């Protein structure tokens, strides 16, 4: 029944888009590209939800957009390959509407791996009292790190999302709740903040098929948008500061009680917290055009002492992306094309604890390097060719297993 409802919702959304497209065939001027409302110098990661290439519909206050991702890969683990794999990773639709003066709405609906997973990732109403004071309510994307909000495929030079952001932190992680956000421009500086009160994680972070502490496991709970298992308020906050000549630095935290500690008025467990801290930074080196994007996160979880030591109480991970344009201008008939070289380095340690018996460090860690070549015939479309070299070590720090291979993909806004 739940799957049926999701499909009906998705089909209704698509029919709405299709009906507008039919009208557009009658008059191509019905659709117009929405101009960015924020200048590049003052753009922060927190603006990622609304600062997308929307298309406005005639003279209505509604705008639509979306993006698509498709990949090919041939990856081997310890020399054993699954052969050629073709994947339709994502098809994402988003729509925004101006309800009234300084009141707006945005929704994002994502289809992953064909239609295996359909998720409403964002659906919120915003009230602007002042540029420094906005109120938001609905399904919100929690601002932990930068990638969780700024995750659109066409923005990145790599076919895969950062491992630390998706398999340690739960990108893309969204919850039901309310919050405040705002920005202030001061000459060469831009300041921004976000603060939300929402529902949170659940027992799945320590009761899952992964056999480790896993925040992303909570995404598998189909009831998380209507039932807050812990009954406690979960908080998420972020501060961002940007110097127009240096770059943007973000500091964020989300945390709260994740377990069901009372039932029918009776205490069944102590309150157990999960906390995640993150730092993110991005900049562009003048003259060279080199882009640097990095994010690091720390996770702490109160795991019951009765659990196996494979469920870690501390985790750490992060990534660094370096993107260097090597050719810009007219390429193969495209006037605004760019050819890039890129490199991603990433590391994740899912268990930073030590064995009680020996005091030796527990393994369960991964590091990876991914060089890439990407071609952008237009800023909103990317073709990318990547090579991944990855090593992963188990709990007992046995010799690391090697994973390597090639991938090619396309991603584009539409």
Of 351, 380, 378, nearest in space to 366 by CA: 351
Supply angle C-alpha 108, 280, 278, rounded to 5: 85
**CB contact set of 18 (below 8 Å; sequence gap of 6+):** none
Q: How far apart are CA 205 and CA 202, in angstroms?
A: 6
Alpha helices in 128-276 (DSSP H): 163
Closest CA to 226 of 7, 8, 5, 48: 5
Q: How many CB atoms lie within 10 A of CB 156?
A: 24
Q: Which residue has the tokens 């935290």?
A: 253
pLDDT, residue 30, reads 66
Structural domain boundaries in the chain: 2-413
User: Which tokens go with 22?
Assistant: 């039919």
CA dist 63 and 32 (Å) reads: 9
Find out whether 66 and 91 touch, Cβ atoms under 8 Å.
yes
In this prediction, residue 349 carries a pLDDT of 98
Structure token digits, residue 313 = 């109480």
The CA distances from residue 8 to 5, 14, 96, 338, in Å, are 5, 10, 20, 40
Over residues 349-373, the pLDDT tens digits come to 999 999 999 999 999 999 999 999 9
Report residue 28 CA to chain centroid gap. 33
Mapped onto helix, strand or coil, the DSSP state of residue 143 is coil
Burial class (CB in 10 A: 0-12, 13-18, 19+), 25: exposed
**How far, in whole angstroms, is CA 20 from its chain's centroid?**
29
d(CA 23, CA 42): 36
Q: What angle do CA 148, 153, 156 make, to 5 degrees?
A: 90
Token code pair at residue 140: 């919100």
The ranges of the chain with pLDDT < 50 are 1-2, 4-5, 7-8, 11, 15, 18-26
Give the pLDDT of residue 22: 42
pLDDT, residue 69, reads: 98
- Beta strands per DSSP E along 131-246: 133-141, 174-186, 189-198, 234-243
Query: What would the pLDDT profile of 264-305 be if each residue is shown by its tens digit?
Result: 778 889 999 999 999 999 999 999 999 999 999 999 999 999
Token readout for 260 is 């069901």
First CA to last CA distance, the chain: 32
Q: What is the predicted pLDDT for the residue at 411?
A: 99
For the record, the structure tokens of 294 come out as 């990095």
pLDDT of residue 28: 55
Q: Which pLDDT score is estimated for 21?
A: 45
Supply the CATH classification number for the domain 2-413: 2.40.160.10
CA distances in angstroms from 314 to 27, 274, 299, 303, listed in the order given: 57, 10, 6, 10
CA distance linking residue 257 with residue 328, whole number of Å: 50
């Amino acid at each position: 029944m739940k799957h049926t409802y999701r499909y009906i919702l998705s089909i209704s959304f698509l029919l709405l888009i299709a009906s507008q497209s039919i009208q557009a065939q009658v008059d191509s001027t019905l659709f117009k590209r929405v101009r960015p409302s924020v200048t590049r110098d003052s753009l922060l990661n927190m603006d990622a939800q609304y600062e997308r290439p929307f298309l406005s519909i005639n003279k209505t206050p509604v705008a639509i957009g979306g993006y698509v991702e498709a990949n090919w890969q041939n990856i081997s683990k310890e020399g054993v390959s699954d052969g050629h794999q073709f994947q339709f990773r994502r098809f994402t639709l988003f729509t925004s509407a101006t309800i009234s003066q300084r009141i707006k709405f945005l929704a994002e609906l994502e289809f992953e791996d064909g239609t295996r997973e359909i998720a409403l990732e964002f659906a919120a109403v915003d009230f602007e009292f002042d540029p420094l004071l906005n109120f938001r309510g609905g399904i919100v994307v929690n601002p932990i790190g930068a990638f969780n909000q700024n995750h659109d495929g066409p923005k990145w030079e790599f076919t895969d999302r950062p491992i630390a952001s998706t398999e340690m932190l739960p990108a893309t992680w969204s919850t039901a709740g309310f919050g405040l956000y705002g920005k202030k421009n001061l000459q060469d500086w831009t300041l921004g903040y976000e603060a939300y009160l929402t529902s949170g994680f659940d027992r799945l972070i320590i009761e899952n098929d992964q056999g480790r502490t896993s925040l992303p496991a909570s995404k598998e709970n189909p009831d998380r948008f209507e039932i807050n298992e812990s009954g406690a308020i979960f908080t998420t906050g972020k501060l961002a500061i940007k110097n127009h000549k240096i770059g943007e630095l973000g500091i964020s935290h989300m945390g709260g009680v994740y377990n069901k500690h009372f039932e029918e008025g009776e205490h069944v467990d102590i309150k157990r917290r999960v906390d995640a801290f993150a730092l993110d930074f991005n900049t562009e080196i003048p003259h060279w055009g080199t882009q640097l994007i990095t994010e690091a996160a720390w996770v702490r979880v109160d795991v019951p002492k009765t659990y196996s030591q494979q469920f870690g109480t501390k985790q750490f991970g992060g990534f660094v992306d370096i993107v260097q344009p090597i050719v810009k201008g007219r390429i193969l008939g495209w006037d605004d094309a760019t050819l890039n070289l890129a490199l991603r380095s990433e590391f994740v340690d899912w268990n930073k604890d030590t064995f009680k018996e020996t005091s030796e460090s527990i393994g369960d860690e991964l590091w990876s390097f991914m060089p890439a070549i990407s071609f952008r015939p237009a800023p909103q479309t990317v073709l990318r060719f990547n090579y991944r070299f990855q090593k992963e070590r188990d709990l007992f720090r046995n010799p690391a297993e090697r994973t390597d291979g090639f991938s090619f993909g396309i991603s584009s806004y539409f």
